[in-house]
Every structure is written in structure tokens, then in C-alpha cells.
Amino acid sequence: MEYNKLTDEEERVILHKGTEMPFTNEYNNHFKPGKYICRQCNAVLYHSDDKFHSGCGWPSFDDTVSNAVTEVADADGRRTEIICTNCKGHLGHVFRGERFTEKNTRHCVNSLSIRFIPSTHIS
């Protein structure tokens, strides 16, 4: 399968499970209607209706596109990593029980792992 070419920083995050700096990333304060796709393989991961402001410094979503995101135990043994189901690229981590939304779930996602597609371009 052919994937999008990644920058060095995108590779650090997506392929090597890195984290970008909080509060400085592209989609932290981005709330336009549309969808968010995997930067590596273009799979649709999240809809803007599920994005919320958590104050954590990274984009936060309380739901995913069905079967688009896989949860795996993180190497640190304390957190749960989220990866793109299609290409296995690192997205971030999921947290539950924080009560930010009724769904009580926060997908904390690196902006470098996703790309936004405005709703005017949604098919």
C-alpha cells in the first residue's frame, strides 16, 4: 500500500510514536465543520462534530468514525495508545473518566497525525 510522504517531524510522531508540543499545534483551537483524516493514509478518523475544547493543548475528540481507530496498551503501561486502524500510524492517546463530555472519552490527538478536510469537500 502506498502512503503519503511525511516530513521528518510527521515521521517522528506517526511512525516513532512521538508527541508534538501542546498549545502550538495546527488543530488545537480549530473548530470548523468537516472531517479529520489520517495524515499518512487518508483514512477518515474523526468528524468535527465530535471535537471539543478540553484545554489539554492537543485536539480532543469524544468519538471516532466506526472502526477507524484502534486502541492498544501503551509501552508505559499506564496509558492507552490510539492508532489508525488502516495504517497503524500513531495518533495519540485515549483517556476516559474525565467528564469533559457526556461520552466521557477524550481522544488526545497529535495535529501532525491528522489532516482537516472542510465540509464543503466531504463526499
The neighbour count for residue 11, using CB atoms within 10 Å, is: 15
Is residue 87 annotated as a catalytic residue, yes or no?
no
Query: 46 in helix, strand or coil?
Result: strand
| b/e per residue 59-86 (b: at least 16 CB within 10 A) | bbbbebbeebbeeeeeeeeeeebbbbbb
Q: Kind and range of the H or E element at 117?
A: strand 114-118
- Among residues 38, 41, 84, 108, the one annotated as catalytic is 108
Closest CA to 100 of 58, 61, 64: 61
| Catalytic annotation, residues | 108
